Amino acid sequence: MDFVKGIDKYPWVDQCEKINVRQFLSLWESQDLSLELELNEESLDRKAMEICNINEETIEDIKEDLDPEKLNRDKEWKDYLYGNKLSLPNHIALRSVAAQVSHIEKCEQNDKYRRIANQSLKYRNYTFLNNQDASKNSSDEPKIEGLDVILNVQVFRPMHHSLHVGEHRKHVNLIAEQEFLCLGRQLLTALKDEIICSVEVNPAEDCSDDPEKERPSARELYTSSFFFIDDCFYNDFRSANNIDCSQVIMDWAKNKERGIGTLRTAKMEETRFNDLSIRLGQPYVYVHQGDCEHMIVFPEMRLFCPQTDSPFLRDYPKVFKTVNRNACKCLMCHINVAKWIVLENKRLPYEPYFFCNQCFMSFNYDSEKKKIGHFKAFRYLDESAFL
Ligand SMILES: [Zn+2]
Ligand SMILES: [Zn+2]
């Protein structure tokens, strides 16, 4: 059983075949891939000349024509974004060209249209990080030997449960904040250790009584967490203090009337990505700090490619894509980035209220650093500082 409520509404996920990562790898290991794995620019040229029966001069011409640099359309792209005149052939009767011409004209004439069009660009808010490693020449680092699988893992922004009212849900923006490249041979804990969430980088306690006191972060104090993948809770038990956060859900799911079926548990630190059976595109869950829930999705799985992927084990899990964020500003001065969240303060118009350091101290404390009235204060590190 692979229970996801309402998954039948998404046939591209529901009907997607479940893939066992180890079987996927074994399938490719049984094929002779020696040629593909050993290909470099020189041997690729030789092979292409042999297969196509062409000489070296022709292959150089083809390489020059297909140079990716020639696909660089930075200038035209900026013209498109800012609505400058972009010359498109007007003698072509294709509807797509007519739509593009009309779109550019609208961009030129209507600022609002141009702004909305730009905001709707799918990858506008993402930064793609280079998959190549600068230190590729250092030979003493452990390298990836043989075949392996590379899985893309998207980690989404945590869900806000306050947006749920019974069965109904207000519109929630699903934003993949980080996308990782993980190796099939790696443990799930390797991914967990790389996920950064603003909830755990600060102390999880009210700091209003002594805001300058050093406190351990929530990440250092509360290390229990789990991944929920293919009806199995993978709990992190590396620390003796960790608790089984999934137990309460297991107990809740035992009620047959809920129709959830049997759920399993396993140790995160003993499970490799190769041990998983996954559906590409299906939502799974990562839960930490008790109730901070991140949807995770595997959008892609492929073989490790020695020609383009970093060969060093230490480079994985590798952050491959991050979302661009605008820093949350102090609500009082609207200049500095927020460093504090204040709750239960009757002197403030909103809750939660975000303060920078200066405004926080000047508004909430007197000259002797004594609290003015009742309030709770939590340290805040804006995600733009680390994502
Ligand atoms: Zn989180
Ligand atoms: Zn301020």
Give the tens place of pLDDT for each residue, 74-84.
555 555 555 55
Residue 60 CA to ligand 1 centre (angstroms) = 51
Residue 121 CA to ligand 1 centre (angstroms) = 27
Tens digits of per-residue pLDDT, 98-115? 888 788 888 888 889 988
Look at residue 238 and tell me whether its pLDDT is greater than 90: yes
Ligand closest in space to the Cα of 364 = 2
Token pair belonging to 70 = 């020639």
Ramachandran region, residue 334 (left: φ > 0; alpha: ψ -120 to 50; beta: rest): left
Q: Is 293 helix (H, G, I), strand (E, B) or coil?
A: strand
Nearest to 365 by CA among 212, 156, 139: 212
- Mean pLDDT along residues 165-169: 55
Q: What is the per-residue pLDDT for 89?
A: 65
Determine contact, residues 125/323, Cβ cutoff 8 Å.
Answer: yes
What's the pLDDT band for 73 if we cut at 50, 70, 90? low
Look at residue 134 and tell me whether its pLDDT is greater than 60: no
Q: What is the per-residue pLDDT for 212?
A: 87
Residue % of the chain over a pLDDT of 90: 36
* Beta-carbon count within 10 A of 208 CB: 20
Q: Where along the chain do its domains lie?
A: 7-29+125-323, 34-68, 73-109, 340-385
> Regarding predicted confidence, which is higher, 332 or 105?
332
Residue 257 CA to ligand 1 centre (angstroms) = 31
In sequence order, what DSSP letters do the residues of 193-246 get, joined into one string? Answer: HH---HHHHS-SS--TT-TTS----HHHH---EEEEETTEEEE--SSTT---TT
Residue 294 CA to ligand 1 centre (angstroms) = 6
Residue 237 CA to ligand 1 centre (angstroms) = 18
Residue 13 CA to ligand 2 centre (angstroms) = 46
CA distance linking residue 61 with residue 38, whole number of Å: 24
Q: What is the per-residue pLDDT for 187?
A: 96
Q: CA separation (Å) from 22 to 28, 150, 275, 327?
A: 10, 12, 6, 41
Look at residue 69 and tell me whether its pLDDT is greater than 80: no
CA distance linking residue 36 with residue 39, whole number of Å: 5
In sequence order, which residues have a C-beta less than 8 Å from that of residue 2 and are 6 or more positions away?
A: 18, 230, 231, 279
What's the pLDDT band for 160 if we cut at 50, 70, 90? low
Tens digits of per-residue pLDDT, 288-318? 998 899 999 999 999 998 888 888 888 899 8
- Mean pLDDT along residues 58-77: 74
pTM for the structure as a whole: 0.79
Ligand closest in space to the Cα of 363 = 2
Residue 202 CA to ligand 1 centre (angstroms) = 12
Q: What is the per-residue pLDDT for 363?
A: 94
Residue 10 CA to ligand 1 centre (angstroms) = 26
Strand partners, 343: 376
Residue carrying structure tokens 């008790």: 290
CA distance linking residue 117 with residue 156, whole number of Å: 24
Look at residue 381 and tell me whether its pLDDT is greater than 80: yes
